[in-house]
Amino acid sequence: MVPDKRSFLFGIGIGALAVLVIVAGLGYTVLSKGVSLAIDSQKLAASIRTQVEEAARAELPVVAEGLKKSVPAQIAKNPIRLGDSSIRISNIQISLPSASLRQLENELNRLAEKSVLATLDTMNFSQLADSFGAITHDIVRETLRSELAGKTVNVVASKWMAVPVVVHVR
């Protein structure tokens, strides 16, 4: 039996119409209800945490070295000045000689420089990087929950079509 040409074209037409109806139905559903986007806040926050920790581990020692080089100049630029100082014992006030006062100021400036440099030398950058990472992790998760969860964003697909995207944060 030879299929007739009309039946064949009719079948193609019905098939094309069915596909068109399905595509139109899907398009209507997408355009009216939108697309759902699920974001795993834990995975995203963990990924960002790792990146922050790696960057901090690499950059903090470099920043500390730069600070070490600038500390003497900063202290020289902004030295500790005591002004006029005196010691009061009962009702007697004794002013410190200016040479002693300058010597005390110099010693305080030297100690300030030494303390800052010692602090920079003994800093645990790995622990500090871990702390930055943990803080970043918490901020990212909280921000995703408070700023994106349940929000609908219209994504412009073309001049005449915008697709609503509903964001769900897990």
Domain boundary assignment for the chain = 5-25+34-169
- Please say if the pLDDT value at position 1 is more than 70: no
Q: From CA 50, how far away is CA 119, in angstroms rounded? A: 26
User: Any residues with CB less than 8 A from the CB of 154 and at least 6 apart, and which?
Assistant: 162, 163, 164, 165
Query: 152-158 and 92-95: which strand pairing?
Result: unpaired
15 or 49, which is more confident? Answer: 49
Phi/psi at 151 (nearest 5 deg)? Answer: -75, 150
146 or 155, which is more confident? Answer: 146
Phi/psi at 66 (nearest 5 deg)? Answer: -65, -40
Residue 6, CA atoms < 13 Å, CB-side half-sphere: 0
Spatial CA neighbour of 110 closest among 66, 75, 78 = 75
Question: Percent of the chain, pLDDT > 70?
Answer: 96
pLDDT tens-digit readout, 67-105: 999 999 999 998 888 777 777 778 887 777 888 888 888
